[in-house]
Amino acid sequence: MTDDTTFDPVYRADCPSRTILDQIADKWSMLVLAVLHEPRRFNAIKRRLDGITQRVLTQTLRKLERNGMVTRRVIDGRSLGVEYALTPLGHSL
């Protein structure tokens, strides 16, 4: 029996598409992307996603930002805050 993974790189563990598939198959990622159809602050995202913890939302947003789907902007002013928005790549999903 031959090993098909040697011929088809999509099935290999080091295939770059696996990172993206892992990201969008995540329980919360697609919901976060849907909520970010317009830029929102962290707490506004958390309020919209019933059941998500602060820790999981933080991890999800960091992962989305690292993969180029979300941008993070620090808002200066009387009350400091962070606003998240979709990148063109995030919109394309």
* Inter-CA distances, 7 with 10, 17, 65, Å: 9, 16, 32
pLDDT at 79: 79
pLDDT at 38: 95
pLDDT at 42: 95
Q: Which domains does the chain have, with CATH numbers?
A: 4-92 (1.10.10.10)
Residue 68 CB contacts under 8 Å (≥ 6 apart), including other chains: 87, 89, 90
Tens digit of each residue's pLDDT, the chain (93 residues): 455 545 676 677 777 777 777 777 788 999 999 999 999 999 999 999 999 999 999 999 999 999 899 999 998 878 788 999 999 988 887
